Amino acid sequence: MTVLQNLSIAKLQEGYKNKDFSVREVVDFFIERIEKHDNKINSFTTTTFDQARKLANMADEKIAKDGPDIIAGNPLLGIPLAYKDIYSTKGVKTTASARVLENYVPSFSSTVVSRLEDAEAISLGKLNCDAWAHGSSGENSDFGPTKNPWNLEYVPGGSSSGSAAAVASEFIIAATASDTGGSIRLPSSFCGVSGIKPTYGRVSRYGVVAMASSLDSMGLIASSVEDLARILEITAGKDFKDATSWDIEVASYSKELNEQVKELRIGIPAEYFGKGLSGVVKEKVDDAIKKFEEQGAQIQEVSLPHSEYAIPAYYIIMASEVSSNLARYDGIRFGNGRDAFGEETKRRIMLGTFSLSSGYKDEYYNKAQEVRRLITKDFTDAFEKVDMLIAPVSPTPPFKLREKTEDPLQMYLSDILTVSVNLAGVPALSLPCGFTQDELPIGLQLIGPKFSELKLFRAGYEYQQLTDWHKRKPQL
């Protein structure tokens, strides 16, 4: 079979146009990799291979009938991807990697899935994640943890663990993911891939199993910024089924990537480079900062003074919304009973219910919302001085499986550099920027003001033209 690794969306579609390979050959190649290797990675919860083959045959028939120009009107024609298992897929199990929903088959698809299907992407299935998207490591799935393809003894990051691991393993070209407190950026960093957490409301949440409704952002994971840009311009945009989605024009992200970062003002948040930051993480992010500086970017230090309160504020707000959202899963309307909830889910329900209870709401939930406003103002003030911020995604490289499962607080601190972005509702782009001596990936994040995805993509795209970290793949 033709070797089809290290191919982008553009290169795949160019191959279709030139008849270097067929869509069916591409789909069969990825299916073969999944069948051969995913038994050790555990990135998929459900596969849809038969349907994928049918769609591949239909795509080849279209190309043969209408010629290569058909691809111009179908931007993702023949592109293999998969969906995090919180995205509703009509006729295909959607479990949220939770026993409560282990046999649930939706009668409708989420808006994101519908838009990708309309663009003629081909799904290979549903991807593992922490149950209900509750987790930072990928270990909380009720169907077994996802493993990091760079080293199977390490976590891939969560909650979008299957999405990042599957892209890194070259099982798919891209994956949908979600980010409530870092759940796109952390696994992207740990698996050496690229991820976009869009502005809150930039992408519809309709049809996605809710975690914390005021924090959830529907994003993407892929190997490169260019591929992220190509897909986000399809998934983004107003959806009248989601009242929180914004009616703001979506840029042609992929066609506007080439503007250089010259004169770009990049801020370094002092609070993100302090105590607790691993030496190797700081070294690799510092190297990336120098790359931007060499290209003409102006680097200056800024402050986000309320960052130290982000974790407690986030976990109170998030848990409160979790307790409300999960109240519907009572075993009566659909799914199994509440006794099927896992330990982490129960912990969050109890914390959230307590925070909202009579006599405590003002002391905890309302106070956390006040802190949220202060954190949002910190970002607003910073973006009056700079165009974007650069920071590590995680204070440490990937950690070992079961290393933090017995200490929930230590696990929660994995999100210390990511949750503020969700509290403020701003976008962030995660990029691989190096490796440890043990060949474990390290990532950085670019953070911008609301609806600055294009500017983030341009900066990230230029960085990836200067480096090859995103091209490196694990040996399975």
Whether residue 4 is contained in a domain is answered as no
pLDDT at 330: 86
User: Are residues 257 and 228 in contact, defined by beta-carbon separation less than 8 angstroms?
Assistant: no
Q: Which of 110, 159, 307, 414 is catalytic?
A: 159
Q: Which residue has the tokens 């149950």?
A: 131
From first to last of its 476 residues, the chain has per-residue pLDDT tens of 467 888 999 999 999 999 999 999 999 999 999 999 999 999 999 999 999 999 999 999 999 998 878 888 888 999 999 999 999 999 999 999 999 999 999 999 999 999 999 999 999 999 999 999 999 999 999 999 999 999 999 999 999 999 999 999 999 999 999 999 999 999 999 999 999 999 999 999 999 999 999 999 999 999 999 999 999 999 999 999 999 999 999 999 999 998 877 789 999 999 999 989 999 999 999 999 999 999 999 999 999 999 999 999 999 999 999 999 999 998 888 788 889 999 999 999 999 999 999 888 989 999 999 999 999 999 999 999 999 999 999 999 999 999 999 888 889 889 999 999 999 999 999 999 999 999 999 999 999 999 999 999 999 999 999 999 999 999 99
* Number of domains observed in the structure of the chain: 1
Look up 97 and say whether it is catalytic: no
Q: Give the span between the Cα atoms of 117 and 121, in whole angstroms.
A: 6
| Segments in 295-366 forming alpha helices (H) | 310-325, 343-356
Whether residue 467 is contained in a domain is answered as yes
Number of H helices, E strands in the chain: 14, 11
Q: Give the span between the Cα atoms of 135 and 157, in whole angstroms.
A: 8
Q: Give the span between the Cα atoms of 289 and 286, in whole angstroms.
A: 5
Whether residue 3 is contained in a domain is answered as no
pLDDT at 2: 61
Look up 303 and say whether it is catalytic: no
Look up 84 and say whether it is catalytic: yes
Whether residue 1 is contained in a domain is answered as no
CATH of the domain at 157: 3.90.1300.10
Strands 388-392 and 265-269: parallel
pLDDT at 5: 85
DSSP-assigned states of every residue in 195-257: EEEPPTTSB--TTB--S-TTT-EEEEEESSHHHHHHHHHHHBS--TT-TTS---PPP-GGGS-
Q: Which residue has the tokens 């969560």?
A: 158
Instruction: Give the range of the structural domain holding residue 280, as residue numbers without chain letter.
Output: 9-471
pLDDT at 70: 86
| Half-sphere CA count of 404, side-chain side, radius 13 A | 22
End-to-end C-alpha distance for the chain, whole angstroms: 18
**pTM, full prediction:** 0.97
Q: Give the span between the Cα atoms of 97 and 332, in whole angstroms.
A: 19
- pLDDT tens digit sequence for 265-309: 999 999 999 989 999 999 999 999 999 999 999 999 999 999 999
Q: Which of 123, 183, 204, 414 is catalytic?
A: 183
Whether residue 455 is contained in a domain is answered as yes
